[in-house]
Structure 1
Amino acid sequence: MAAVKSDIEIARMAQKKQIMEVGAALGIPAEQLAPYGHDKAKVSADFIHGLSDRPDGRLILVTAINPTPAGEGKTTTTVGLGDGLNRIGKKAVICVREPSLGPCFGMKGGAAGGGHAQVIPMEDINLHFTGDFHAITSAHNLLAAMIDNHLYWGNALDIDVRRITWRRAMDMNDRALRQMVGALGGVANGFPRECGFDITVASEVMAILCLAEDFEDLEQRLGGIIVAYRRDKTPVFARDLKADGAMAVLLKDAMQPNLVQTLENNPAFVHGGPFANIAHGCNSVIATKAALKLGDYVVTEAGFGADLGAEKFFDIKCRKAGLKPAAAVIVATVRALKMNGGVAKEALGAEDVAALTRGCANLGRHIANVRRFGVPVVVAINHFTTDTDAEIAAVQDYVSRHGADAILCRHWAEGSAGITELAERVVELADGGQADFKPLYPDAMPLMEKIETVASKIYHAGEVTADKSVRDQLAAWEAQGYRELPVCIAKTQYSFSTDPTLRGAPEGHVVHVREVRLSAGAGFVVAITGEIMTMPGLPSSPSAERIFLNDDGHIEGLF
C-alpha cells in the first residue's frame, strides 16, 4: 500500500497557474493586480471600487461542530466546496482567513486546507504570506508607542496611567508576555506601568481591517479606538494622539485582498485572520464583497464551531456589512462526533455507533442554532478512512430526523470529484429562496441582555454571571453611546459551555463574564468568559519542534 502523501507534499506537486491568469479568469486586468511573486497578488482598491454596480452572487457559509483533537476539516471543506462548485459548472470564489503564526508553530502546523483541497502556495500562506499580519502588528504597536511617548512628553491629554487599555501585540503564542511591567530602567525610559501583549489576531486593528469597507472607513475606525481614560473617566481615542493617519498608512497595502488559487486553479481570496474564540473569526468584508461581485457563488468560513464563528459571522459581520447569507454548511466528522459521545482519541478507529449517536447531540444543536438565523443548512460529513458504513448511516439518519441532509464528502482524498453531491445540494439551497436571514438580537437591546441572549439561545446556558464592575462598565458604555454595538463573546471553542472538557450539548451551565473590553473602532464589545486567553501559550510539544528546511531547501512540518 502506497504511503499517503502529506498536505505539504501534495501542495508542492501542484501545477500552479500564473496569478495573472487566475485573475484574468475572474475578469481582473493585470494592471489591477500587484503580484507578490508568480502565484499570489493583491487586488487594487480602485478595481474593487469599480465593481459596486454589479449584482451580488450567493453567499455560502461553512461552519462546523465544536472542534476536537480528532479533527473536523472546516477550511478543507470550504476549499473543496469551492472547487466542487466550479467542477459542476458554477463560477465560485473562495474566501478564507490568513493563518496566524501562533497556531502554525503551536498546535495546528498550518491552516490552508488539507489533502487535495488546499489553497496554494501553502507554505507562503502559512508563513508571512504578503506581510499583512506584520503590517497589522506594526500599526498596533505604533499606537502603543505613541501612548507612552505622549506620557513621556508631558501627558497633555491628562491620561490616567492606571487606566490605559491599549496593550501591545505580536503574532506568536508567548504566555510570558500576557502580563508585564514596562518602561523600567530609569527616567529616560518613561513611566513604569503594568502592560502586556495580545496575539495579533486578537488585536482590534485586525478586527478593524476585516470589517472596514474601504481605506476611508479604515482610517475612521482606527481613529475611534479607545486607548485609555482620563482621571474623569472620559475616553482618549487614537485620533486624540494623532495616530490614526500613520496607522492607516501602514495598513494601506494590507487592506488590499490577496488573490491565490486552489490546487485545481480556482480563485481564492485569503485575507485577514481574526480568531473566532477571542475575536469575530471571519475573513475581511472587503474580500467577501469583492468576491460576491466577481462570482456567482462565494464560499466563506467562520472560525471554530458554529457557536462562535457562525454566530459572530451572522451577528457582527453580516449585520455590519449588510450581507445576506443564502445557505450554510455544517462540517462534521464521524471521529469528532464519537469524541463528543465519550470515546477517547486513541479508540476512535473502532466502530461505535452508540457513542456516535450520543455525540450527534452536538451536531443537532448547531443545526438548530444556524436555522435560528433564518439560514438553510446542509451537513457535510468529512470522510475519514476509518469511518464505517454503519456510522455514516447513523449520522445521516440523525440529520434526516432534524429535517436536513448529511452528505458524505471525499474531497480530502479526491478533490472536487469527491464533493460534487454537496455542491449540487448547496446550489439548490442557495437558489431556492429559503433564506430569511436575521440577526439573533436587535441593535437596541442593552449590552448585558445581548450577552445573555447569545448565552441562553446559542450556548443553552442556564445563567450568565458577572461582577458588579463588569455590569457597571457596560452601563457606562451605553451612556457614552455604545449601546447599539453587537457583542463578541470570547469563549473556549471546545464546548458550548466555558468548560473545554464539557463536550456534547450541555444544558443549564453557567457562563461567567470576567472582563469586558470596548472595541469602539471595530464596532463591538468583547465579553471575556471562563479561562480564555487573548495571548495563547505553546503546548508541551509545539509544532515548531518539527518544522525545518530539508536538504532540498523545502519546508517540512507544515500540515
Structure 2
Amino acid sequence: MAFKTDIEIAREAQKKPIQEIGQKLGIEPADLVPYGHDKAKVSADFIARQAGNKDGKLILVTAINPTPAGEGKTTTTVGLGDGLNAIGKKAAICIREASLGPCFGMKGGAAGGGYAQVVPMEEMNLHFTGDFHAITSAHNLLSAMIDNHIYWGNDLQIDSRRVVWRRVMDMNDRALRDIVTSLGGVANGFPSQAGFDITVASEVMAILCLATDLEDLQERLGNIIVAYTRDRKPVTCRDIKADGAMTVLLKDAMQPNLVQTLENNPAFVHGGPFANIAHGCNSVVATRTALKLADYVVTEAGFGADLGAEKFMDIKCRKAGIAPSAVVIVATIRAMKMNGGVLKQDLGAENIDAVNKGCANLGRHIENIKKFGVPAVVAINHFAGDTDAEVDAVRDYVKSLGSEAILCKHWADGSKGIEDLARRVVEIAESGEADFKTLYPDDMPLFKKIETIAQKIYRADEVLADKKIRDQLKQWEEAGYGHLPICMAKTQYSFTTDPNRRGAPDGHSVPIREVRLSAGAGFIVAICGEIMTMPGLPRVPSSESIRLNDQGLIEGLF
C-alpha cells in the first residue's frame, strides 16, 4: 500500500478562509490582519481586550529524546488538538514557526505530518509571514549600531575586544561561526573578532517569545547587554539607543499568526527558538491569547522532555505565570527499539527485548515530568509496522510506573485515531490533579541551578566548569542577575552531552563550555559539550533536492 506524502496530503487540504477559522475562537474579521486567504495575524488591540477572560486548560506535548526513527511530537500536538475538537471541546493549538536552517539542512519542516498537519505547510516552512526576517533584521540593526558607535568616537568607551553581541542569520553556515570584521582599512572601522548564530538562537527571538506586549518588548530589548567597557561595566542596547528602532521592526512580528489544521481547527504558529540552544517554546503572547479564547490549548516544547519540557516549566511558565494541567509524552515503538540498540535498517522486525530495553529512556522522562507536579500520559505514535506485542510491552512498562500509554493513529486517521488520548487528557486536566512547581527557586545560586538541572533531569554526577565560568556566574549574581533561570544549550539526542549515548545513562558529567547572559530575555545560557549555536549543513543537505517542478510546485521541502 502506497502512502501519500505529507506534502501531497497538504496540497489536497480543503482549507477554509482564515476569517472562518478566526470566528471559531470569537475573533471577528476586523481583528485579523490577513496574509493572503489562509493565514493572518491577530491584532494587538484584540488581544488586549481579552485580558479579563477566564483561562482555558493548558496541555503540554513533549517527547522522548529524538532518534533517526522519528517520534512525531508536532504531529501528535496537531492530532490532539483535532481530537479534542472532534469530541466536542473548544480547542486551539500553539506551535512554533519553522527555521529555514533545518528545512534546507536535514531535519525538515515543522508543521506535523500525515493527516495531522497545519496548513499552509509550504509557506509555514519557508518565509511564512516574515517574522524571522524581522527578528534577523532587528538583531543585526543592533550589531550595525554598535560598530557605528565605536566608529564615530565611542562615547560609551566600549572595549571592542569585549563586544558580546554576535550577528545572526536564519541558515546553517558553519563558516560564519567565527569571523573577523572590518578589514580593509580605516574607512571600514576597527578590525575585530566576531561571529554569527542562527536566528532561532538570537536573544531577540527569545525576547519576542517571552514579551507580553510591545511596551514589555522594548523594555526587554533595551536590557540586552551588548558589550563591556575597559573597566568591565556593561553597555546595553538602550545605551546604544537601538531599542526603539528594533521595536518598530518587530511591531508586526509580535502579533501571533493564525492558521488551520487539515480539519479546519485553529492553530497559532508564532516564534521559533530551538530547544537545544534556546528555550524551545512558542510565544507567550500566542499561548496566553489561545488560553483566553479556547477551553483547551495544546502546545509543544521542542525536542525531548529533558530540554523542551524542562525549559517550558522553568522558563516559560515561570515568566508567564501559566501552568500545564497535563503533559503528553510522545514515543514510538521504532524509537524504543533504537534506544534498545537496534539499527535503523533493522527496525521493521519485531523485537520485544529491544523495546523493553529502550523503554528506560521513556521511563526517565516520565519520572522527570512528575518532578514538576504535573500528571503525564504517554502517546504511542503508531507506525504501520508496529506489532501488538510491542505496543503491549510499552503499555505494560508505562503502567508499572503508575502512568498510562495510549496508542494513537492520528498520522493515518486524523482526529479519529487520537480520540482515546483526547478523552483521557480531558479527564486528567479536569481532575485538578496537577500541582505545578518549578524545579528550582529563583533565589538559588546560578551554578547550583545548573547542577540541579544536570543532576535531577540529566542524572549526572557532576557539572564540570572551570574557575572562569564559576567566577562569571558569581559576577552576574553580584550585578543583580542571580534570580534568573538557566537555559541549557545541550545536545537533544541524549541525557548526556554525548549525542551517541542513548537510553537512560547516569553517572556521567556535564561539561559547561561557556555561559552567556541574556539580560533582556531574562535567563542565563549554559553551553554544554560540543553544542553549536550556529549549525552546519550535513554532507548531503536537503537543499540539494528542493526545487520547483514543471507545474511550478515545490518538491523536496518535506
| TM-score bucket (shorter structure) | over 0.9
Q: Name the structure 2 match of 1:275.
A: 274
Distance 2:26 2:549 in 1: 39
Distance 1:420 1:105 in 2: 34
Q: CA deviation at 1:518?
A: 0.1
1:295-341 per-position Cα deviation (integer Å, ceiling 9, x unaligned): 00000000000000000000000001000110000000000111111
Q: Name the structure 1 match of 2:23.
A: 24
Q: CA deviation at 1:545?
A: 1.1
Q: Name the structure 1 match of 2:475.
A: 476
Q: Name the structure 2 match of 1:257.
A: 256
Query: Pairwise mapping of residues 56-205 of structure 1 onto structure 2 (< 5 A)?
Result: 56-205=55-204
Distance 1:500 1:315 in 2: 23
What secondary structure, in the 3-state scheme, does the structure 2 residue paired with 1:63 have? strand
- The amino acid across from 1:546 in the alignment is S
Does 1:531 find its partner at 2:530?
yes
1:334-369 per-position Cα deviation (integer Å, ceiling 9, x unaligned): 001111111111111111110111110000000000
RMSD: 0.5
Q: Name the structure 2 match of 1:402.
A: 401
Q: Name the structure 2 match of 1:441.
A: 440
What is the count of residue pairs matched by the alignment?
558
Q: CA deviation at 1:24?
A: 1.1
Distance 2:55 2:471 in 1: 43
1:17-41 per-position Cα deviation (integer Å, ceiling 9, x unaligned): 0001111111101111000000000
1:503-537 per-position Cα deviation (integer Å, ceiling 9, x unaligned): 00000100010100000000000000000000000
1:388-440 per-position Cα deviation (integer Å, ceiling 9, x unaligned): 11100000000000111100000000000000000000000111100000000
What secondary structure, in the 3-state scheme, does the structure 2 residue paired with 1:462 have? strand
Distance 2:411 2:555 in 1: 20
Q: CA deviation at 1:546?
A: 1.3
Query: Pairwise mapping of residues 420-431 of structure 1 onto structure 2 (< 5 A)?
Result: 420-431=419-430
Q: CA deviation at 1:109?
A: 2.1
Tell me if the contact between 1:515 and 1:528 (Cα under 8 Å) persists in the aligned partners: yes
Distance 2:144 2:524 in 1: 24
1:9-58 per-position Cα deviation (integer Å, ceiling 9, x unaligned): 00000000000111111110111100000000000000000000000000
What secondary structure, in the 3-state scheme, does the structure 2 residue paired with 1:229 have? strand
Q: CA deviation at 1:261?
A: 0.1
1:148-175 per-position Cα deviation (integer Å, ceiling 9, x unaligned): 0001001100001111000000000000
Q: CA deviation at 1:192?
A: 0.4
Q: Name the structure 1 match of 2:490.
A: 491
Q: Name the structure 1 match of 2:334.
A: 335
Distance 1:325 1:92 in 2: 15
Q: Name the structure 1 match of 2:389.
A: 390
TM-score, structure 2 as length reference: 1.00
Q: Give runs of ≥4 in structure 1 deviating > 3 Å.
A: none
Tell me if the contact between 1:224 and 1:521 (Cα under 8 Å) persists in the aligned partners: yes
Distance 1:338 1:163 in 2: 48
- The amino acid across from 1:268 in the alignment is A
Q: Name the structure 2 match of 1:364.
A: 363
Q: CA deviation at 1:108?
A: 1.8
- The amino acid across from 2:268 in the alignment is F
1:186-220 per-position Cα deviation (integer Å, ceiling 9, x unaligned): 11111000000000000000000000000000000
When structure 1 is superposed on structure 2, of 483-492 and 100-109 the one drifting more is 100-109
Distance 1:246 1:33 in 2: 25
- The amino acid across from 1:5 in the alignment is K
1:376-399 per-position Cα deviation (integer Å, ceiling 9, x unaligned): 000000000111111000000000
Tell me if the contact between 1:281 and 1:309 (Cα under 8 Å) persists in the aligned partners: yes
Q: CA deviation at 1:99?
A: 0.5
Q: Name the structure 2 match of 1:325.
A: 324
Q: CA deviation at 1:270?
A: 0.1
Q: Name the structure 2 match of 1:509.
A: 508
What secondary structure, in the 3-state scheme, does the structure 2 residue paired with 1:426 have? helix
Query: Pairwise mapping of residues 341-352 of structure 1 onto structure 2 (< 5 A)?
Result: 341-352=340-351
What secondary structure, in the 3-state scheme, does the structure 1 residue paired with 2:460 have? coil
Distance 1:25 1:373 in 2: 33
- The amino acid across from 1:177 in the alignment is L
Q: Name the structure 1 match of 2:311.
A: 312
Q: Name the structure 2 match of 1:289.
A: 288
Distance 2:548 2:109 in 1: 15
Q: CA deviation at 1:558?
A: 2.1
What secondary structure, in the 3-state scheme, does the structure 1 residue paired with 2:325 have? strand
- The amino acid across from 2:335 in the alignment is A
Distance 1:178 1:456 in 2: 30
Q: Name the structure 2 match of 1:222.
A: 221
Q: Name the structure 1 match of 2:547.
A: 548
Percent identity reads 76
Q: CA deviation at 1:553?
A: 1.1
Return 5+ residue gaps in structure 1 as ranges.
none
Distance 1:359 1:530 in 2: 24
Distance 2:74 2:537 in 1: 22
Tell me if the contact between 1:107 and 1:542 (Cα under 8 Å) persists in the aligned partners: yes
What secondary structure, in the 3-state scheme, does the structure 2 residue paired with 1:5 have? coil
Does 1:243 find its partner at 2:239?
no
Distance 1:116 1:542 in 2: 26
Distance 1:316 1:552 in 2: 46
Tell me if the contact between 1:373 and 1:437 (Cα under 8 Å) persists in the aligned partners: yes
Return 5+ residue gaps in structure 2 as ranges.
none
Distance 2:113 2:252 in 1: 28
Q: CA deviation at 1:464?
A: 0.4
What secondary structure, in the 3-state scheme, does the structure 1 residue paired with 2:159 have? strand
Distance 1:32 1:386 in 2: 46
- The amino acid across from 1:150 in the alignment is H
- The amino acid across from 1:335 in the alignment is R
Distance 1:185 1:295 in 2: 57
Distance 2:499 2:25 in 1: 42
Tell me if the contact between 1:327 and 1:426 (Cα under 8 Å) persists in the aligned partners: yes
What secondary structure, in the 3-state scheme, does the structure 1 residue paired with 2:161 have? strand
Tell me if the contact between 1:109 and 1:557 (Cα under 8 Å) persists in the aligned partners: no
Q: CA deviation at 1:549?
A: 0.8
Distance 2:452 2:27 in 1: 43
Tell me if the contact between 1:135 and 1:251 (Cα under 8 Å) persists in the aligned partners: yes
Distance 1:441 1:421 in 2: 34
Q: Name the structure 1 match of 2:210.
A: 211
What secondary structure, in the 3-state scheme, does the structure 2 residue paired with 1:280 have? coil
What secondary structure, in the 3-state scheme, does the structure 1 residue paired with 2:464 have? strand
- The amino acid across from 1:312 in the alignment is K
Distance 2:105 2:227 in 1: 32
- The amino acid across from 1:419 in the alignment is I
